[in-house]
Every structure is written in structure tokens, then in C-alpha cells.
Structure 1
Amino acid sequence: MISPLEARVLAAIDDAETINLLTELVRVPSVTAADAESDLQHRCARLLTEAGLDVDLWQLDLDTLRADPRFPGSEAPRTEGYGVVGVTPGEEEPAVVLQGHVDVVPTGDLDKWDERDPWSARITGSTLHGRGACDMKAGVAANIAVVHALRRAGIKLARPLAVHCVVSEEDGGLGAFATMLRGHRGEVAVITEPTSGRVITANAGALTFELGVPGRAAHGSTRFEGVSAFEVFLPVYEAIVRLEAERNRDPDPLFRDNPVPYPISVGTVRTGDWASSVPDLLVAEGRLGVKLDEDPAAARAALENRVAEVCAGHPWLRDNPVRVSWPGGQFASGRLPDGHALTEQIRGAVADITGAGAPPVSAAPYGSDLRLYLDVGGIPSLHYGPGDVRFAHAPREQVDLPEVLDVARALVLLVLRRCGVRR
């Protein structure tokens, strides 16, 4: 049940201001490691300062972060990055952290976007379109809307609230890792990734892999004198497909609605440099799903062993084995401890706002910053945020604006109930 004080703060959420903020955020082309990513971090720092928070804006020490044995990996070439943390006044550890990443994936084929403009933040009806609208600038906007509503309502929290804005989530989690190493903490964290109306208390991991498949070059007219790297890759790929099926048998019950919680996908294949030559090298890149609670080293070994088995039984690969390497992002899985109070607290807040009952609890098949807040920071964390993840990374990415506003309101209730109000 919503109290009169809670109703007063909820009334202080300015719907038009929140939508305008989201529009501004989406119009910044903050692709991972692009200059605009840093520009947006400075903009977020100003927004949090305007809301009355004490803001820590710092430049990441990339060399030190990369040298740490716990470094989560990265894929995009990067020369700079910034961290942003805002905290409401108070001496105690923040009772709640609201976290979101400002970086987005590249736009892909512009012809797939209306008017060839993925940064338009165009609104049709109740839907806002644009790269990052769903993943996850809607969540960032909801987080910032919370602190502006608190300020507008004249609320002084009994215990602090923190808002974290991070970079580089899309390629490994460098920004979250840096924030944890900076010493920023909290009792609990809500990461406002798009959750399709669910509360996500766990997610699988994802490890980027690369396969180097050797062949032997020859003229295309005498191809039988060579060994096509493309052809010898086929049994390797078929073995990977079988491995995926094996690894997805009897998944954790949290994945009951997901048919393939631990996907293995090959995202890029490059081979050959001349149409009439037999290719002597194929390079395939992909992602390996990590099971809940599985050591990433065990997941790597599963793929490496399967590839080695194929090579051992193949007449060419036996003496010319496939090279397996692990560049880029290395996302371990993460899980909020079973029965943690945060789960029911956010579900109760959502139910009070929507009137539709408590949202279901499940797990997500993708990696995120969750495991860094849990494992490096020791902060019990979950995902709850606006957007349908099926639109993330897709052409014509979009988010439902009433959902953004409902999430902001649910977060207001969570913050008031966990942080308390100074009388």
C-alpha cells in the first residue's frame, strides 16, 4: 500500500521531463569506447549534481585496470573512459544503488532504421525509437528521474542513495569493474537493464572465443591439392552445435521459460583472400554461454576439449589443430542469494505501482555487470528495468514510455522503503 508520503514523491516525478531526458540520452551516439561515451558520462555527472548528489567523476586508469588479474576483458579499442557515481548526503553506506550503463552497441545497417537515423529518438504513439533506447538508456533515465523527484519533493533520505553510471558494459564490464575498485559500495543494487517486466535475480555468463582453423592453399582449379579451411571448419561447427545441446540439458529452474539458457553462437566467420584460391585459414568468433555457478575456466575447458576431440579424429586437423583463444569480454555468471529480501522488496514496489500483482522472478541468458557487483563488490544485486530485451541490439530498437515511467515510480518506492526519510 502506498503511504501519503510516498504518494507525494510519486507525484513529483515529471513525466515530460523524464521522457525529454531519455530523448536527450538516446540522441548521444555513445557507442562503446567512442568519444560520445565520455561526453555522456559528463552529462550524467551534471544531471546528478543538479539533483543535489555528491558526484565522483573520475578518469579510469586503464593500464591499472587491465593489469588486475580480475580484469573482465574488453573488445572495443579504448584510450579513455570515465566513471560517475552520485550519492545523496549522508555518512553511512548507501542503502540502495541504482546502476546503469551509458554505452551502446553499434547501429548496424542504417537501411534497417527509419529515415536511416538510429539516433533520432523518434516517438510514435507511446514508443521511443533509437539505438540504446531499450539497452539501456531507458534504465539510466529512470534512475535519474528518481533523484530528481526526491529533490523536487524536498525529501531528505535517512540513509544515502547512490546512482552509478558506467561505461563499457557491452564489451565486458570495465566501467563496473572500475567503480568497484574505486571503492563505491552499497547494501543492495538494482541494475535497470531491460527485463521484459520480470525481476531477474541471476544471469548466465558469456565468454568470447576465437577459433583459428588452418587449411592449405591451392589454385581453385586444383583444389584437391589443397585443404579448404572452410570445409574442415564444418565438423568443428557441428561439434559445437552438439555441445550446446548437451550443456542446455536440465538447466536451473530459474530458466524455465528459456529454451536455450546457455547458447553457443558463432557471430563472425572470415576466410579466404581470393575467389579462385583454396582458403588456408578460417577465423571464427563467437560466444560461449556459462552456466549458473559454473567456473568460467570449466566452461572454457568444455569448448577446448570438444574442439580437441574433433581434431584428434580428423585426418587433417589431427596434425594441424584448431587454435582456440579467448579475447574480448569474459562474463561470468551471477546470482542473487536465494531468499534475499531485495527480491520481494522490488516485487512489492512494482505491484503497488502497476496494480497487476508481483512480477515473476527468472534468470537471463546473457552476461551483464551483475556478476561484478556481486563478486567484486560483494553487493547483493538484481536486474529490474524498462524495456523488452528482444529489442536490444536490434534494428529499430525501441522502448515503451509508460513502462519507463512505471519503473521510475517503482524505484522511488524501493528507495523510500529501504533508505527511509529523515523527519
Structure 2
Amino acid sequence: MIVPRPTGGACAAQVSHTDRVTERPDPAEVLAHLDPDLVAADLAALVALAPVDGTPGEVAASHWCADRLTELGAAVDHWEVDLPEVRQEPDFPGMEVERAEAWGTVGVLGPTETIPALALNGHVDVVPPGDHALWADHDPFTLREHDGRWYGRGTCDMLGGVAAILGAAHAIRASGIDLQRGLALHTVTGEEDGGLGTYATLRRGHTADACVIAEPTADKVVTDNAGSLTFRLVVRGRATHGSMRTSGISALDALDVVRDALRDLETKRNAEIPDRFAHLMLPWPLSIGTIYAGDWASTVPDLCIVEGRYGVRPGESVASARAELVAAVNAACFEDLWLRDHPVEVTWPGGVFAPGRLPDDHALLEVVQDAAVAAGAPHPPAVGAPYGSDLRLYSATGVPTVQYGPGDILHAHAVNESVAIDEVMRCAGAYVLTALAHCT
């Protein structure tokens, strides 16, 4: 499935095949090739492309990654995703933005005849920056360095992690070692709105014995992800003049009945928390994000449409989670005189993020923890995360996967998004050492 492309650039010039080291590599010698300036340059280039989901910048980032992986000496597969075809697949994870085109990009260092021993995954799509004026007089798509941090949209989630992956690949290539098993580099799009890129990558046949995703994890290793779904409620009322509101039925008042039921459902679903999620106050929250109601100030609104996010518990199927919310809404409607005859409509637009987890006692966890410590990071505890990610797509195909990457999710999607430079470099070192443990 890998399509080799001609290699070039500085890395190919530095190391010839005859110069390659055949004995067990010294990790310190490989780590010595980590280049912060090169990592910064890669990060700056990615940020400058403004790869917002569904925009030409997202497509440009895929092409940039194909060229960069080729420069690093990887065998590269770069293909256009057949969007109409994949959208018809029954397990397609969904999209929340429209795309005219999408591309997949995978590079492999080392042997390509067998399944790679390890995949490093990073998504190159970012969310919109919001109001540019709030970015401290700084263009969100120009990388800025200040007080030991890199600032710019996507630096935390997760272009910093992608740059760390590329930095690790450069160090491995520049050191001249021979990998006995392949190291795959999966640079994907569409993660923020469903997981299109990783889904298409796996569907094309790119897999590995294990995977590390460079999502921001704040010096922790994420082994379990809760899932999440987007729900839409259509609540109907009866319109009348605002001065006669008691003769009408406000759709907003009807919504209050349903909101009370959803709060009770959230409490019920969070009553028992697994150990790896115990650090979270609310591991699988249920929240309303948008409300649309009314078309005239002096009219009682007869329609309210809300959309929200619904957490899916580990080990729970998407179908079961949906059924529980629908049942709660239906029960609330049955108890209300108006809603009994005008029930709330529930639909499920947007991406589908099922939960995912690393199998118990899998060796990948300890390998990544040891690599992080050897790269200079504190020992990262194993935790669960309340958000969905591409981890669940790898896990669903039988690829043991964890997340370990630079940054803290608190900085993701934020104004003046940033990541600590030393975290990026420590993670790059951890990726090098994890690759050496799996591929040599």
C-alpha cells in the first residue's frame, strides 16, 4: 500500500545507505540529532498554512506533509480521499464541516514489506481562531515565541505534536540507524470534526502493531477516551402576542422541562466513575451549546432548536448511549401536558466519537512511560480523558493506542493558544525512544 517516492532534502544528503549503523543504536546518539530550530521551522510552516477544518489550508497542510516526509526519506503514500464513497460507509465517523476535497498522507521509515511496528499519529487540522483582535495584537497564523512558549492557532492542538513527530523522524534518519521494523508517520486531517483523516488512513490499509497519538496530554499518558455525540432537539410551542403570553406556549418554557430531565440524566450517568477517570469532576458531561428561538421580540416563540454535546461512557455503545438520552427526553415529554402531544424531536448530527481504550496490561503503556522519563519528563501517570479522539478509531481496528503529546487541553482552541517549547522537545525525544524500542 505504501507508494515510495524519491527522497531528497537535507536528511537524504546527510546519510547514505552505506553509512548506516547496523548495531543496536545508542539512544543518546539518536537524541543528539533532535534539532529545536528544525522543529520550530516545521511548526511555523504548519501554523502559517491556517489549516482550519474544511478550508484550502487544511488541504495545503496535507500536501506540505507529503513533501516534508519525502524530504525526511520516508516512503510516502499521498492520496485523495473519495469523500462521496467514504461517507456512505456504515461506520463513517461523520463530519461537521463541508469539504470539497481531503487528502491522506502516510510516510514510513524503514522496511515497508511488513506491517510497521509503530505508528505516530498527528492531525494537522485546527479550529477557527475566533476574533483576531483578541490575540494580543498577534496574527494567530504566525508563530510567535515568547517566554519559552510557541504561540499560534494549533500550536497546542496539535501542530506542536506533529512538529515533534517530524523532529523525531529527522533525528532517527539523521542518526543513520537501520530500523528493523517500519516506523509509520500518519499525518491526518478532519480530526476536530469527526476523524475523517484517520478513518480514511485505516480504511486504505495503513496500520501498525501499536500507535502513539501526539495529542496534548499535560505530562500524562491517555489510555482511555470517553466518547461524545452531538444531539439536536427540536422543541415546539404555540405562538401568540407577547402581551398575551399566558395564552400561548413558549418553546423556551418547554425546553426547561427537557433541560431538567437532561440534568438528571447527566447525574445518573456520572454516578460511578472508573479509576482512570477519577481525576475528573465530570467525566462524561452533557451540555447545550447552541439555542435558536424566536423571530420577533413581542411574539411568544413557537420553535426552539438546541444542539449540545453528550458524553459516551467507556465500554458503552453509541446506540445504547443514544437510546438512553432519547428515553429520558421521551419520559419528560410524557409527564408534561403540552409536550405529551407535541413531543421533542431528537436527532444526531455531526461527528460520532465512540469511546476507546488500551487493553489492560498492554506493554505499550510502560514503553511510553519509560521513554518519557528517559527524555526528561516526569513519570506520566495513565489516565482517562473525557473527550473523543482518533484513539477510538485505531482501537476499533485492533491497534493498541495511547495518547502522549505536548501541551495541555486547557490551552487547546483558546485565544492565544500556546505550547511550552521544552514540552515539545521532550515529547520528540520520547517518540524517538519509543520508536527505537519498537522498531530496532
TM-score by length of 2: 0.93
Q: Does 1:12 align with 2:29?
A: no
The AA in structure 1 aligned to 2:436 is L
Q: Residue in 1 aligned with 2:15?
A: none
Give distance in 1, aligned partners of 2:219 and 2:228.
23
* Of 217-226 and 155-164, the range deviating more from structure 2: 217-226
Pairing partner for 2:172 from 134, 141, 150: 150
The AA in structure 1 aligned to 2:434 is L
Instruction: Give the aligned CA root-mean-square deviation in angstroms.
Output: 1.2
Q: Does 1:209 align with 2:231?
A: yes
Give distance in 2, aligned partners of 1:209 and 1:174.
19
Cα deviation, residue 110, structure 1: 2.8
Q: Residue in 1 aligned with 2:160?
A: 138
Pairing partner for 2:281 from 247, 251, 259: 259
State how 1:352-371 maps to structure 2 within 5 Å: 352-354=374-376, 356=378, 358-371=379-392
Cα 1:355–1:295 shift into 2, 3 Å: closer
Cα deviation, residue 76, structure 1: 0.5
Secondary structure of the corresponding residue to residue 436 of structure 2: helix
* Of 112-121 and 258-267, the range deviating more from structure 2: 112-121
Pairing partner for 2:372 from 326, 350, 354: 350
Secondary structure of the corresponding residue to residue 365 of structure 2: helix
Pairing partner for 1:44 from 61, 65, 68: 65
Query: CA-to-partner distance for each residue in 1:8-57, whole Å, 9 max, x for gaps?
Result: 11000111111121122122211111110000110011110000001111
Pairing partner for 1:314 from 328, 336, 340: 336
The AA in structure 2 aligned to 1:407 is C
Query: CA-to-partner distance for each residue in 1:128-182, whole Å, 9 max, x for gaps?
Result: 1111110000111111111111121112211110000111111111111111110
The AA in structure 1 aligned to 2:122 is G
Secondary structure of the corresponding residue to residue 162 of structure 1: strand
Cα deviation, residue 224, structure 1: 2.1
Q: Residue in 2 aligned with 1:391?
A: 411
Secondary structure of the corresponding residue to residue 41 of structure 2: helix
Give distance in 2, aligned partners of 1:238 and 1:167.
37
Cα deviation, residue 116, structure 1: 5.6
Q: Residue in 1 aligned with 2:13?
A: none
Superposition misfits of 4+ residues, deviation over 3 angstroms = none
The AA in structure 2 aligned to 1:269 is I
- In structure 2, the gaps of 5 or more residues are 1-23
TM-score by length of 1: 0.96
Cα deviation, residue 118, structure 1: 1.8
Query: CA-to-partner distance for each residue in 1:354-382, whole Å, 9 max, x for gaps?
Result: 164x211101000000111110x321111
The AA in structure 2 aligned to 1:89 is G
Query: Any conservation in 1 of the 2:94–2:352 contact (CA below 8 Å)?
Result: yes
The AA in structure 1 aligned to 2:153 is R
Give distance in 2, aligned partners of 1:255 and 1:31.
31
Q: Residue in 2 aligned with 1:56?
A: 77
Q: Does 1:269 align with 2:269?
A: no
The AA in structure 2 aligned to 1:6 is P
The AA in structure 2 aligned to 1:165 is T
Cα deviation, residue 227, structure 1: 1.2
Q: Residue in 2 aligned with 1:418?
A: 438
Q: Residue in 2 aligned with 1:30?
A: 51
Secondary structure of the corresponding residue to residue 169 of structure 2: helix
Cα deviation, residue 62, structure 1: 0.7
